[in-house]
Structure 1
């Protein structure tokens, strides 16, 4: 005869198994419904792309405080790249090199030197052959992957910057943009063409005059080339740099925070099509690529060396809000950017104080994050300090934020954000958000704006060694929260 304890154990096991069967019974229809909804969404996306509509993930870009020129060089590296790097070093400016995979494999040491000098690296496909790249989006995607691998092997580099050979006009359709965007890449055309490739051997004087003709906007993305046969571009480069210096421009490398220039669609020159099966395949690969970027970011964060000065840890390039001068005030030493970190991920170097009406919210370094040039803060702390509340829906793997009439849902199962207000829902696919160690991190500026408030100012509290952000709240919500 079994003991009483064995009977209880048997009953507990039976109850557990019964509960599991009940859960499976009720969850199966939900899973099927979710799968059907996902299929319907994919079909809708496909139809929109097929009609020519461009679909973008939600992103935030940073406008520079002064007119800025982004010098870009295509088709390298080549034997000319060393001289270009020498000139840039002599003039004290940084640039962006959109490199071909086959050239990277030929001149890996030049890639490493460009990275060492602090320049940005971009992906310019593998072989630059238009008839291959634009006859099929699958071929274009494959060449992006080939060049990504070549850069990784040559200089341990991954880049989110992409430039289409010949530019996107007449070459890209909505599908090309969509897969690259979903993967986390930024496609950059240009708004000033130096004219150095309109024919063989364009003289330096003509290149300089073409650049002088502008147009000169607040942000100039200048197209040049450092590939074989562009000796005249190298000759013209010092005068071009001095031209922009005389006009008061700052120089900077491109980054994911720079709003890209995209040409208009134009009539597509190529006879091609994308079927539903290929769309599903490339969409999945784009999602895998985004995960690669995220994993790379995590590895860089764990493995990178941090500088310490004045009790503050510093790493990576300046966050969008803080000027280099402000960072120098905070940490009391020269600031050096590390352009090798994908997405410009860096460790916070100072406490972050958010002023919310009469209240304040303080985050010490390590309690908030800096990714892609933006402050990411714990959403629960932020929303409660603003006077709202947040909840975690475990079964849905979703954080829900309630603030006045607004509800924001951060869905980590589908990697999307849903903003609900007045019966209307807006969905942002692949938004900037993180779930790390049980804490949901969201971008400060974007979240504040989605909640109907706005940021009034940024600054530095030199006495306390803090970065400060002042938020104007709607509805008079505010109370003090700190740790």
Structure 2
């Protein structure tokens, strides 16, 4: 029998964006005390261990050490959340047409500067009923994880302002560049009411040029509620082939796409999902 899920909070904005600093100070005071009392053979490994924890929190994309992060949708229904990063790009119109052809919806995590360069594409994404998220303003791929507080604040705020000015609606969701979020991302997320989104299924389509291999990797992570990471505009130019193949596989496997949103819309989505699960539990179909 299918389990009915409890109602969770999908849209989790950081509540205590500076808590990490308190933890850091306390941990280093503890390290200093150990070093003072027991010497470097204990103090040095303790210092390295505490630093390793903070580094892990930055480098692991779905780490919630510095801020809450949504990794998958809480449902046992055969649904997935398609997320498409790095646009808008020259491929965006074709991406939209592919999604329309399969009756699929996606959230586009867009770059502020690219949205300003192609505002008509951003408006078209919204017009066709897709979601739009914040993916930084200039996409500093090599050093986003190492940005200081002022630079991080600008990356989030400038993208938020650009997207809002073009579409008239402020995004609810944020995805860190390359998924890596350092401690300084929490404060601007709280300021702008943004919640971090990671993923649970990816195929490395931003770098891998073989659509079959990419979709095979994505399929390994597919399950009810999976958040699928895709990209547009990659240098290899085969993102459209990846999307087309993935949409065919999702159709064949019986998966539908959903757009979970914030606030009341999230409540409505969760309520509909619970109702569907209750119906399935009461009237299960024939065994496969």
**TM-score interval w.r.t. the shorter chain?**
0.5 to 0.7
Deviation by residue 1:391-416 (Cα, 9 ceiling, x = unmatched):
xxxxxxxxxxxxxxxxxxxxxxxxxx
Decide which of 110, 117, 140 is 2:152's aligned counterpart.
140
CA distance in 1, matches of 2:183, 2:132: 25
CA distance in 1, matches of 2:98, 2:272: 26
Shift of the 139–43 alpha-carbon distance from structure 1 to 2, 3 Å rule, reads: closer
Instruction: Within 5 Å, give how 1:446-461 maps onto structure 2.
Output: none
Matched-pair contact (CA < 8 Å) for 1:192–1:211: yes
Deviation, 1:135, is 2.9
Deviation, 1:187, is 0.9
Residue 110 (structure 1) aligns with: 121
Shift of the 65–138 alpha-carbon distance from structure 1 to 2, 3 Å rule, reads: same
Higher strand share: 1
- 1:121 equivalent in alignment to 2:142: no
Residue 98 (structure 2) aligns with: 87
Residue 208 (structure 1) aligns with: 215
Instruction: Within 5 Å, give how 1:379-390 maps onto structure 2.
Output: none
Deviation, 1:117, is 1.0
SS at match of 1:319: helix
Residue 157 (structure 1) aligns with: 169
Residue 173 (structure 1) aligns with: 182
- 1:192 equivalent in alignment to 2:201: yes
Shift of the 230–152 alpha-carbon distance from structure 1 to 2, 3 Å rule, reads: farther
Shift of the 100–458 alpha-carbon distance from structure 1 to 2, 3 Å rule, reads: same
Shift of the 194–55 alpha-carbon distance from structure 1 to 2, 3 Å rule, reads: closer
CA distance in 1, matches of 2:155, 2:91: 24
Deviation, 1:85, is 0.2
SS at match of 2:114: helix
Deviation, 1:318, is 7.0
Matched-pair contact (CA < 8 Å) for 2:113–2:137: yes
Structure showing greater relative contact order (alpha-carbon pairs closer than 8 Å, 6 or more residues apart)? 2
CA distance in 2, matches of 1:252, 1:109: 24
Residue 323 (structure 1) aligns with: 272
CA distance in 2, matches of 1:236, 1:49: 42
Residue 368 (structure 1) aligns with: none
Residue 23 (structure 2) aligns with: 48
CA distance in 1, matches of 2:238, 2:17: 49
Matched-pair contact (CA < 8 Å) for 2:260–2:266: no
- 1:101 equivalent in alignment to 2:112: yes
SS at match of 2:177: coil
Deviation, 1:56, is 5.7
Residue 63 (structure 1) aligns with: 74
Deviation, 1:91, is 0.5
Shift of the 190–230 alpha-carbon distance from structure 1 to 2, 3 Å rule, reads: farther
Matched-pair contact (CA < 8 Å) for 1:151–1:158: yes
Shift of the 42–112 alpha-carbon distance from structure 1 to 2, 3 Å rule, reads: closer
If the length of structure 1 is used for normalisation, what is the TM-score?
Answer: 0.41
Two-structure CA RMSD over aligned residues (Å): 3.5
Matched-pair contact (CA < 8 Å) for 1:73–1:224: yes
- 1:223 equivalent in alignment to 2:232: no
CA distance in 2, matches of 1:63, 1:204: 28
Gaps (5+ residues) in structure 1? 1-40, 258-314, 327-456, 460-483
Structure having the higher Rg:
1
If the length of structure 2 is used for normalisation, what is the TM-score?
Answer: 0.66
Shift of the 105–245 alpha-carbon distance from structure 1 to 2, 3 Å rule, reads: same
Gaps (5+ residues) in structure 2? 1-15, 28-53, 58-64, 280-288
